[in-house]
Amino acid sequence: QVQVVESGGGLVQPGGSLRLSCAASKSISSINAAVWYRQAPGKERELVARFTSDGSTNYADSVKGRFTISRDDRKNKVYLQMKSLKPEDTAVYYCNADVYYLATYYRNLWGQGTQVTVSS
């Protein structure tokens, strides 16, 4: 009944920025926690950034200082702000989220992914 949808990917030049969004399909939903992953062709999926229920965050070493994960005030969207993008950041980015909706807690909801391509 509740889905998670990523958006904001695209083609960007090295050094550029993008902001990815992870949104619950029900507007009154509340995202309790979320993790951004990415997967490039031929490579294993890797954790990029994590937002926990207490508001704490953590990041992969490869993106520390460049990426920021955050949740909006209504708690129904989680963002990944990406700066100083490198070609190595090229991947499909996925959101996995735990979502409250009405009386149900939905765990481990995966979005469909959004493509980020960093190239000149």
In this predicted structure, the answer to whether residue 1 has a pLDDT above a threshold of 90 is no
CA angle in degrees (0–180, nearest 5) for 25-4-64? 130
**Interval 14-23: pLDDT, tens:** 999 999 999 9
Task: Supply angle C-alpha 42, 57, 86, rounded to 5.
Answer: 40
Query: Chain-centre distance of CA 13, in angstroms?
Result: 20
How far apart CA 80 and CA 93 sit, in angstroms, is 10
User: 40-90 pLDDT, tens per residue?
Assistant: 999 999 999 999 999 899 999 999 999 999 999 999 999 999 999 999 999
In the predicted structure, residue 9 carries a pLDDT above the cut 90: yes
3-state secondary structure of 87: helix
